[in-house]
A and B are shown apart, each in its own frame.
Chain A
Amino acid sequence: MLNRRNFLQVGAAVPLAALAGEALVRQVSAGPVIGGKDFSPYTGKERQAIPSACWQCVTRCPNISYVEGGRLVKIEGQPNSIRTNGVMCSKGQGGVNQFSDPDRILHPMRRVGKRGEGKWKRVSWDEALGEIAGRMKKLRDAGTPEKFCFHYGRMKASQSKLTKMFLSNYGTGTIGNHTSICEGAKWTAQEMTWGGHYDNWDFDHTNYVLNFGSNVFEAHTNHIPVSHRLIARMAEKNIRMVTFDVRLSNTAAKSSEWVPIKPGTDRTVVLAMCNVVMNEGLYKGEGEEFLKFVKVTAGLSATIDEKVAALKAHLAPFTPEWAEKISGVPADKIRTIAREVATSKPACIISYRGAVAHHHGADTERAVQMLASITGNVDNPGGRCKAVGAKWKYPKGPKKKPKARKLKIVDGLKGAAKMPTHHVSHQVLKVIKDGGGGRPDIYMWYCYTPVYANGEVQENIDILKDETLIPFSVCINPFYDESAALADIILPDTPYTERWGWEDMVSPAQIPEYYIRQPAVKPLGECRDFADVCIELADRLGFPLGIKSHEEFVKKSCEKTPAVKAAGGFEYMKANGVYHDPKAKPRYYSYKKVLKPEAYQQPGIVQDPATGVYWNWEKAHVKSEAEALKKGYTHTKKAYKAYVGQEIDGVVYSGFKPDKLNKSGYMELYSEIVEAHDLPAMPSWTPAPEHAAMKPDDMILTTYKIATQIHSRSANCKYLTEISHDNPAWINPASAAEKGIAEGDTIKIKSEFGEIKTTARVTPAIVPGTIAVSHHCGHWEYGRYASGKKAPDGRPDATEAGSIWWKNNGAHPNWIIGTKADPISGQMRWMDTVVSVKKAAANA
C-alpha cells in the first residue's frame, strides 16, 4: 500500500546520475533581500529605486525613494548607509506625503488683498522674480543691501552653500537662522569649552549612558543614526542608561532608570555629580590624564594637582544635598549615579533641550562638559566625541564679493544675550518692531515659519502683517502655512522629494559619510528648488554665480571631492546615493594629535604668550608680527580662524580647535572669555528669576517633540498626522487634584503672553508642578490634515470621512511661550514659562 513513507523511499532510491544536476533557480545573496528593492503589491513589477536623502528633520538620513507609474509611492532607509544602517523613522517614511499633499502650492502667488486677507493671484515666475529682483536691485544700487533680510530655518549642506553664495555676492549680512529655537545654548557652551560645536555620542562603544534632557529615542539632531545604535547597544550588551527628565518620555521609559527632576535644575545635579567625582577621587585614571588638556584655572601654569584642587574648590558648595533641595533628586541617587558614570568606562554623557533650553542653559552644557572631562569621557571610544562629517569640496562662486553690510537685528533685543554665537533669531520680528537695529525693506524667509515656530505667536502675526514695519515680504515654501499666509509673494519650493543636494551630516560611526539627494520625480506644477531660484536671481541682479543649477553644483562637487571622485564621482553617487571609505577607521582623540614643527614654525605664525596658542597673524589680517604679539591672540578680531595649535607642557598639539570665540586649544572649563562678559568663569548655578518669584499655585510649562512629527513642518503629512494629531497637556495627579482637574477636562493654561485651551491628561509620568504640551499641533493653516480645515474639495463620501477621521487638531503652546532668551547664549527658553492652569468653566 502506498503511503508517505513509500514516497520518500522513492526519493532515496533515485540514482544521482539520473538527475539533470542543473540548478533552475540560483541563490544570488546570502539571505533575503532587505532594503534597496521594492515591488508593487498589485502588479508585482519592481519599482524604480532612487537613492536620495530625507529632509524632514535635520538628521537628513539617506533614503531610497521608490517610484511607480511616475509617482512616489514609498520611502525607505538606505541599507548601505554607515550612519543609519538602513533604518528610517516614521517621519522619513511619511515624507511621501510631502510629495502628494493635495494642498501643495504649485505656482508662484502674489497677494492682491490686504496682507493676511487670503486673497491671491497666480503669477508667473518671471513676474514674481522680476518684482523681487527689482526691489533687491534698488536696495543694492542705493548701497543698502543690508535692508534685504533673509531668514532661514532648515537649510544645510549644498542648499546652504548655494544660498549663502547668492547672499554674500549680493552683499547682505542680515541673515537670520533658527538655531536659537533649537539648541543654540549647547553650541555656544561647546564653543566656550572645546571649540567647534557638535557632540557625537559614540553609543557603539559605550558602557553607560547618562542623559540630561535628551529625547534621543523620539527626536534628536542626529536621531536615527544614534538612536538605533543605542537601542542595539542596550539590547546586545545590556548597558545601563539613566535619564533625567521632567517627563517620562519614551526615551525615559526605555531607559534603565528615569529620574524625575524639576524643570531647569539639571545643572545642580550635574555640578553635584562633579562634586562627588572630585571628592571621592573618581577622576583618577582617564579623568586625571585628561586634565592635562583642560583649563580650570586662570592663566596657564597650573599643575594637575593644582587643577584638582581648583575643581574641588569650585565644586565644594555644590553638594548632592544642595542639589536635592533645588532639583528634587535625592542626594543619594545623585551620588550613586555619579559613581556609576565615573566607573563604567567608557560612559557617554548626553544632553539636549530639556537641559539647555532654560535660563543660563549654556552653563548646563558647560557643566556636562565638565562631568565628561573629569570622568575621562571626551572624544574617546564610547564617550561624547567631536563630530565627524563629510568634507565636500564645492564651487565657491565669484572670487570678488562685496563687503557684507548688516542690520543689527539677529542678536536679540538689547541685552538679550551676552554671547549669542548662534544668534537670537527667534527675536528677529521683535527687534524689527523695536526698530533700534534698523528695519529691513524686504523680509524673505525660507524653509521656516516665523509665525508658528517661535514663541509669542500673536505678536509674530501682528508684526508680519504690519506693512509699516515690513514693507515687502517673500515666503519660499511648498506649503501654505501660517507664515506663508502673511507673505506678499509665495515662491513654491520643491519638497525634498523633487530636488538635488549633497549632504554632510555628522556620522555616529566617527567615519565620514558622503551622500546626495536626487529628485525621485520631476517637480510638480511650477515648483522650483530654491537653490535654482537663487542662481536665477543672481543672474537677474547682474552677478552670475557661475553655476547653472543645483544639479550642476552637486555634479561639480562630486568631481572636486577627492574621496567621491575616486569612488566614481557623480555617476557613482547617483547610482548608490552614499559613500564612505570602507578602510577608514573611526576618528577619536583628535585633540591629542602632536603637530610637527613645520606646522607651526612658519612665517606668519607666532605663539601667543598669554594662552600658549600658535596662530597665523597674517591669516587673521594683522599688519605685522609685532602688532600681533602686542595685541595678542585673544584680543584680535576673529583670531580663532587663524588658530594653528596649542602648546601644552612643551609639546604642540592640535588641541581643541576654537570656533566663533578666541579660546585656547584647551578644553576650557574655566573661561576668561566668559568671565570677561561678567558671567561665571566656571559652570555655576544661577536660578531663573521667574521661578524664584512663582506663586504657590503657578506651574512651569514644558514642551517636547514626539517620534512621529517634527517641530513645524510635518503636520501636513497625512500618514503622520493620522497617528499624531492631538496633544493633551500632561499634568501630575497631585497637581491636578489641587486644581480640581480630572482626566479629559478642558483646561486653560495662561501665561503673561496669552492663554490656550486644551484637555488634561492626568498622569504620574510628569513631575508635580509642571505641565507639558508637545509641539507640532494646533495648526490653523498648513492644509487639511494639519489644520483640520476641510477644503471644498473635501469629498462628501464615506472615504472622505474616513480620510480625516480625527476631530481634534490639538493646541499650539507657542501662543503662550515667551521669546525670552538665555542671557548667556540667546537660546530660546522653551521650558521656563510660568503659567497658571485652571479647569475651564462648564468644561466646555
Chain B
Amino acid sequence: MHNVISGSEHDELARSAIERSRLYDLLATVFRHEPSPEFLSHLKAPEMADALSNAGIDLGEELEAEKFADLAEALAIEYTRLFFGPGKHISPHESVQLKRGSGILWGAETSAVHSIYHAAGFELGESETNIPDHLSVELNFLSLLASQESQAWADQDLDCAAESLHLQHDFISQHLGKWAAAFCAKVTEEAEFAFYPAFADLLRGYLSGEKADIVDRLSSPGAGEQSEGSVLSDGYTEIANVHR
C-alpha cells in the first residue's frame, strides 16, 4: 500500500515531470535536425532566454545578433559537419559512441534500445528515419516516459509513476548516461559556434544529476512503497517487481 499524500504534492511531481519531459524534448529537437530561424527566435524569447541564462547556458553572441536566418544557415552547415560529415563526424548513435561498444551502426546496443522501447510500449513511427539509438530518439523516449510519469502523478496512479521513473532511471543507467557525456565533450571540442556546445553542456549537466534525482523522487512519500532497500537496479526484473 502506498502512503497517502496530498493532491498538491502530486501536482508538484506532475509539474516537475512535465518540465523534465519538455527539457528532453528541447534537447531531442536540437539534436534531431538543424535549427530553423523560428526555433532560434524562440530561444531568444525573454522567458526562454532567462531560463537558459539562469541555467548557465550561453548560446553565444551569434544568437545575440538576432540574424536568425543567417545563423540557421550557418548552424545547418555546422550540424551537418558535426553529426553527418560526410566523412569525419561525431556519430550521434549509441552503438558507435559507447565505450567498449560495437562501434558500428545498428549494433547490438541499438537492438537493445529498440527492445526497451517495445517493452515500454513504444515503437518508432513509420516515417521515422533515425535509427533507434540516435541521440534524439533516446531523448524523445525519455521525454515520453517523463510525460507518462506526469500523467500518472496527475491521475494519482503511483505504481505507474514509479514504473515510469524506474524505466527512466534504468534507461539512463544502461544507455544514454553511458555515452552522452563523452559525446557532448566531443561536440564541445569540435564545434565552431557556441550553439551545440551550449546544448551539449545542458544535456551533460542535466543527466549528471538525473539518476540521483530519480532516486529522490522514488523515495518521496508519494512514490509508493520502497521498503526493500534500493529499488534501483540494472535489470528490468525490477520493473516487473514494481508491477507486483
Spell out A's residues near B (CB within 8 Å).
68-72, 97, 99-107, 109, 112, 118-122, 480, 484-485, 490, 521, 524-526, 718, 781, 783, 789, 791-793, 795, 797-800, 803
A-B contact pairs, 23 of them (CB 8 A): A68-B111, A69-B112, A69-B115, A70-B106, A101-B105, A102-B93, A103-B85, A105-B86, A107-B84, A109-B86, A112-B77, A485-B86, A490-B86, A525-B129, A526-B129, A783-B87, A791-B85, A792-B88, A793-B90, A795-B182, A799-B101, A799-B103, A803-B103
**When each residue 87-121 of chain B gets 1 if its CB lies under 8 Å from chain A and 0 otherwise, what string results?**
11111010011111101111110111011000000
Interface of A is mostly: loop
Tell me if A102 and B86 are in contact (CB < 8 A).
Answer: no
Neighbour of A70 across the interface among B98, B99, B114, CB < 8 A: B114
| Chain A residues with CB below 8 A from B34, complex form | 122
Tell me if A524 and B89 are in contact (CB < 8 A).
Answer: no
Tally the A-B contacts, defined by beta carbons under 8 Å: 119
Q: What is the CB-to-nearest-CB distance from B121 to chain A, in angstroms, rounded to a whole number?
A: 17
Tell me if B84 and A122 are in contact (CB < 8 A).
Answer: yes
| Chain B residues with CB below 8 A from A793, complex form | 89-91, 96-97, 183, 186
**A792 touching B87 in the complex, CB below 8 Å, given contacts A101-B104, A109-B80:** no
Q: Report the Cα distance A119→B91, complex, angstroms.
A: 17
B53 at the interface (CB under 8 A from A): no
**A121 touching B76 in the complex, CB below 8 Å, given contacts A69-B114, A70-B106, A524-B131:** yes
Neighbour of B88 across the interface among A121, A122, A484, A789, CB < 8 A: A789
Q: What is the CB-to-nearest-CB distance from B75 to chain A, in angstroms, rounded to a whole number?
A: 10
B159 at the interface (CB under 8 A from A): no
Q: Report the Cα distance A68→B111, complex, angstroms.
A: 8
Spell out B's residues near A (CB within 8 Å).
34, 76-77, 79-81, 84-91, 93, 96-101, 103-108, 110-112, 114-115, 129-132, 182-183, 186, 189-190
Tell me if B84 and A105 are in contact (CB < 8 A).
Answer: yes
Tell me if B130 and A525 are in contact (CB < 8 A).
Answer: yes
| Chain A residues with CB below 8 A from B189, complex form | 792
| Residue of B79, B91, B98 ringed by the most chain A CB atoms within 10 A | B91
Shortest Cβ distance from A787 into B: residue: B87
Q: Report the Cα distance A272→B109, complex, angstroms.
A: 63
Q: What is the CB-to-nearest-CB distance from B154 to chain A, in angstroms, rounded to a whole number?
A: 34
Q: Report the Cα distance A109→B81, complex, angstroms.
A: 11
| Chain B residues with CB below 8 A from A792, complex form | 88-90, 186, 189-190
Q: Report the Cα distance A800→B103, complex, angstroms.
A: 8
Q: Report the Cα distance A798→B101, complex, angstroms.
A: 11
Neighbour of B77 across the interface among A72, A99, A119, CB < 8 A: A119
The 10 closest A-B CB pairs, nearest first, are: A69-B111, A100-B104, A480-B86, A799-B100, A71-B106, A102-B96, A793-B91, A480-B87, A122-B80, A793-B90
Q: Report the Cα distance A275→B93, complex, angstroms.
A: 66
Q: Report the Cα distance A71→B93, complex, angstroms.
A: 14
Tell me if A795 and B97 are in contact (CB < 8 A).
Answer: yes
Neighbour of B107 across the interface among A71, A104, A803, CB < 8 A: A71
| Chain B residues with CB below 8 A from A490, complex form | 86
Tell me if B84 and A100 are in contact (CB < 8 A).
Answer: no
Tell me if A791 and B90 are in contact (CB < 8 A).
Answer: yes
| Chain B residues with CB below 8 A from A101, complex form | 104-105
Q: Report the Cα distance A155→B95, complex, angstroms.
A: 32
| Residue of A106, A122, A793 ringed by the most chain B CB atoms within 10 A | A793
Q: Report the Cα distance A799→B95, complex, angstroms.
A: 13
Neighbour of A120 across the interface among B86, B129, B132, B190, CB < 8 A: B86
Q: Report the Cα distance A104→B131, complex, angstroms.
A: 13
Tell me if A122 and B79 are in contact (CB < 8 A).
Answer: yes
Tell me if A791 and B91 are in contact (CB < 8 A).
Answer: yes
Tell me if B106 and A105 are in contact (CB < 8 A).
Answer: no
Tell me if A120 and B80 are in contact (CB < 8 A).
Answer: yes
Shortest Cβ distance from B86 into A: residue: A480
Neighbour of A797 across the interface among B88, B99, B129, B132, CB < 8 A: B99
Shortest Cβ distance from B110 into A: residue: A71
| Chain B residues with CB below 8 A from A109, complex form | 80, 84, 86
Shortest Cβ distance from A42 into B: residue: B108
Shortest Cβ distance from B93 into A: residue: A102
Q: What is the CB-to-nearest-CB distance from A50 to chain B, in angstroms, rounded to a whole number?
A: 15
Shortest Cβ distance from B34 into A: residue: A122
Tell me if B103 and A795 are in contact (CB < 8 A).
Answer: yes
Shortest Cβ distance from A492 into B: residue: B86
Shortest Cβ distance from B186 into A: residue: A792
Tell me if B76 and A524 are in contact (CB < 8 A).
Answer: no
Q: What is the CB-to-nearest-CB distance from B226 to chain A, in angstroms, rounded to a whole number?
A: 32
Tell me if A70 and B111 are in contact (CB < 8 A).
Answer: yes
| Chain A residues with CB below 8 A from B111, complex form | 68-71
Q: Report the Cα distance A267→B89, complex, angstroms.
A: 51
| Chain A residues with CB below 8 A from B96, complex form | 102, 793
Q: Report the Cα distance A71→B132, complex, angstroms.
A: 11
Q: What is the CB-to-nearest-CB distance from B178 to chain A, in angstroms, rounded to a whole number?
A: 12
Shortest Cβ distance from B132 into A: residue: A70
Q: Report the Cα distance A106→B92, complex, angstroms.
A: 12
| Chain B residues with CB below 8 A from A104, complex form | 105
Q: Report the Cα distance A480→B88, complex, angstroms.
A: 10
Shortest Cβ distance from B79 into A: residue: A122
| Chain B residues with CB below 8 A from A789, complex form | 87-88
Q: What is the CB-to-nearest-CB distance from A190 to chain B, in angstroms, rounded to a whole number?
A: 40
Q: What is the CB-to-nearest-CB distance from A415 to chain B, in angstroms, rounded to a whole number?
A: 39
Shortest Cβ distance from A113 into B: residue: B77
Tell me if B77 and A797 are in contact (CB < 8 A).
Answer: no
| Chain B residues with CB below 8 A from A791, complex form | 85, 88-91
**A799 touching B99 in the complex, CB below 8 Å, given contacts A102-B91, A105-B86, A793-B90:** yes
| Chain B residues with CB below 8 A from A798, complex form | 100
